[in-house]
Structure formats: C-alpha cells, structure tokens
Amino acid sequence: MARNNHDISRRQISENALKVLYRLHKSGFQAYLVGGGVRDILLGLEPKDFDVVTNATPEEIKRLFRNCRLVGRRFRLAHIVFGRDVIEVATLRGHHESNGNNDKVSKSNAQGRLLRDNVYGTIDEDAERRDFSVNALYYDISDYSIHSYSGGIQDLDQRIIRLIGDPETRYREDPVRMLRAVRFATKLDMQIEPRTAEPIRELAPLLKGIPAARMYEEVLKLFFSGKAAANLEMMQDFDLFEPLFPQIDALLQDSPKGSMAKMLDAVMRNTDLRVAQDKPVTPAFFYAALLWYPLKQRADDIALESGLSIYDANVAAMGDVMEQQCRTISIPRRFSTPAKDIWQLQLRLERSQSARAFKLLEHPKFRAAYDLLLLRAEAEGGTAAKVASWWTSFVEGDEQTRSDMVKKGKGNQRNRNAQQRRRRRKPANKKPAGES
C-alpha cells in the first residue's frame, strides 16, 4: 500500500522508534515498524509499543547502537534503551525447513511447541511466521509504504482475528497464541474467525506447559488493560481459565454461583473501573483478592486436620496456596509478600473493632486490606458485610465518631468475653444433703 493510500503519519510514531528505523535504514539495512504499532494507528488507536524488524542480525544491531542489549533464548531480540523507553528490534524470521536439523537455531518439543527459534529470513517469510493477519503489517521507513500480508488490511476492515497458517499447528508451536487471540478480540472489539477458534478448547491444556514466569506477563496483559471482565468471560468460554488458575476453577466447579464466582466477577469489574479512572492496579491486591477463597478453604482443611488455631492455619495455608498458584503463574516476591500481608490483615480487621483500630488504620497495607474486605462483603454478605460496614463508618468518621465507636466496641467485647466465660464454666458437682 503506497504512501498516498494510507493515513499513517510519522508524527504518530514515537521519536525513539523513528531514530532506530532511520539508523538501520541509513546503515544499509531494511527497517520496518511492525505489528501492533501499525495496526493500532490504522484503527485510530494510540499504540503502547513500537516494535521494529530488520534484516540485520542481533549482533549487527548491537554494533550500531551503544544503548542496545540482547535478550531472549527462544528468539534472540535486541532492546534499544532510551531511558524508560525500550524499542524492541527483531531480526526477520525465516522457515525452519531451510535450516535442516540444526538444534542451535531451531528446536521443538514433542507437542510441537517451539523451544528455540533463531531462524532468520526475508520479510515474506517473516510475515508467514506472524501469528495473526492483523499483526502482519509492515511500515517501510524507506518509502513510507505499508506491506500487508495474509489479508491483514481486509481483516482489519472486517474486524476479524485470523491466525496465519493451520490453527492447530500454530497453537502447538506457541499455546500462548490462544490467550493472545482472546486479548486481541476484546481489545480491538473483533470476532475470532471460526477456524481460528475451533481448536482452542481441545488445546487449552497445553498452557500448563508454558513457563510460569512467561505466564505472569501474559496475565498482566489480559487483566490490567481495562478488559478484564471481557477477557475472563471469553477465557472461561474457551476453557482457558482452568490451566492458569486451577485452585479458583475447582471452587467454581463446586459452587458455580457461590462466593468465589461473585468475588471473581467483582475483582474483574473493580480492576476495569480503576483502569478506566486511571487509578493504580497492583498484582499484589489482584492475587490477594482472587485467591482469598482458596486460602480460606485450605486454612479450614489445615485447622481440621491439625487442630491448629484459625490464625495459625491461615498462616500455614498462605504458603501452600501461593506456592500452588506459582506453579502456573510465577508471582514475584515483591507482590506475593504484600498479598500475604493483605490476607493477614483480614483476620485483624474482623477482631480489631476497638482501640486497636486506630493502630491498624496506620498499617501501610490497610487500604488494600479494607478494599478486599469490601469485595468480600459484596461476595458473601453476612459477617463480612457487618465488619465492612463498621470499618466504613470508622474510616469515614471524624475523631469523635471514631472514639465513640471504639468505646462501644470495648463494651461489646467485654459482653462477648463474659458470655464466653459463662459458657465455659462447668456446673459444680454438688452432693445431695446427708451424703458423705
């Protein structure tokens, strides 16, 4: 597509991406803006990333840019670093068949998943290796034209997500493409083409073989982009949720309309709302909320099996639940540790409706714990709703209101303690009169 047939302007491309494109071109290499950056501009969206492809090898790219670092094993990439902005540059990929059986450049496992993919080629070959047609779009910096492959422009116009090549083969090469199909469909408000959708349910279990560290990034893209509720619905429809969150899915199977289902829906709606309002969303809170009911179930099981107190059983369960989740999605410690803090505070929120409430209010994770309590109140009602109501009044009240609530809380606590002591007191074993 010639320059006068499309409306992409260099003003819509980041300055740093243009620097990379021009330097590659002036050094005698082909250079293209590719994929999502081109796609989003054509759709009238603002791209978040600008990716570049070139016929220069990673080593040649590194020699051209002092601010370059090479990353990746499965496919070697160059990251050109401009402060916080990183432009990702890939070498045009080729076909495996032309490289014989050289395991140093290409290797697959028994299921067909690519373990190594450093096979270089031409732009035509690279386009065939792209996942979806709407991503097989190349903006050529040499003449400002657009190269469209596999009907990419037409699929954009018809709002269709279509895999390039045989869907089952492409999903086996990289099962994460199933999640990407869902994400693009919701992000771009498009439909997944029937042939592209057909194998997903059968192949969904392949996601269990993806490294947990990679799945962490994919989950952030799915749920922190403002389309969490829509992505959840489509993932469940395609059986893609269970391989990522087996503990949560087990509770959903036991009680499809129970507290877990209500919490899941509330977390997704809450996350989407915060993204829409440009408020921060954190993996620590996200996982603390999602895994709250698996934690409760595990804590109940431990308490029943071992006789531990509720508090000690919860502490023991935290490690178990987080460890099991990290088998499918690796959660960095900088998020798993505060998630556990949020869990621990749930017990303190339930018991601290007295003078201790003032101290708890100063805890650095109080706000996150309080927000989780509000979601629990929405999901389960009952005691959680009463505790949440008390804390809402306390948080929103002035100093006098808080002091009055604490005094009343002390009185209620003394009454509860007295009732517990009376229940524990055993009747005296008196002997009848005249009996020695």
With 60 as the cut, is the pLDDT of residue 417 above it?
Answer: no
Domains with residue ranges and CATH for the chain:
1-158 (3.30.460.10)
pLDDT tens-digit profile of 309-358?
888 999 999 999 999 999 999 999 999 999 999 999 999 998 877 778 88
Q: How big is the chain by its Cα radius of gyration, in Å?
A: 28
C-alpha neighbours within 13 Å on the C-beta side of residue 81: 9
Residue 366's pLDDT is: 95
Measured in degrees and rounded to the nearest 5, phi and psi for residue 311 equal -65, -50
Torsion sign across C-alpha atoms 206, 208, 212, 218 = positive
pLDDT tens-digit profile of 21-36?
999 999 999 999 999 9
Question: For residues 377 and 425, is the Cβ–Cβ distance under 8 A?
Answer: no
DSSP conformation letters of 333-377:
HHHHHHHHHHHHHHHHHHH--STHHHHHHTSTTHHHHHHHHHHHH
Size of the chain, expressed as the number of residues it contains: 436
Torsion sign across C-alpha atoms 395, 284, 36, 70 = positive
Residue 413's pLDDT is: 53
The answer to which of 138-147, 230-239, 427-436 has the lowest mean pLDDT is 427-436
Residue 70: pLDDT band (50, 70, 90) is very high
Alpha carbon separation from 383 to 350, 376, 390 (Å, rounded): 9, 10, 11
With 70 as the cut, is the pLDDT of residue 232 above it?
Answer: yes
Question: For residues 394 and 360, is the Cβ–Cβ distance under 8 A?
Answer: no
Torsion sign across C-alpha atoms 241, 247, 251, 253 = positive
Residue 68's pLDDT is: 95
Torsion sign across C-alpha atoms 393, 398, 401, 406 = positive
pLDDT tens-digit profile of 100-154?
444 444 444 555 444 445 688 899 999 988 999 999 999 999 999 999 999 999 9
Q: What token pair was written down for 322?
A: 């987080």
Residue 317 and residue 324: Cα distance in Å, rounded? 11
- Among 88, 10, 22, which Cα is nearest to 51's? 88
* β-strand partners of 138: 34, 147
Residue 288 and residue 94: Cα distance in Å, rounded? 43
pLDDT tens-digit profile of 266-311?
999 999 999 999 999 999 999 999 999 999 999 999 999 988 988 8
Question: Number of H helices and number of E strands within the chain?
Answer: 21, 11
Residue 199 and residue 152: Cα distance in Å, rounded? 21
Q: What token pair was written down for 22?
A: 């021009």
The catalytic residue positions are 49, 51, 131
* % of the chain surpassing 90 pLDDT: 74
Residue 21's pLDDT is: 96
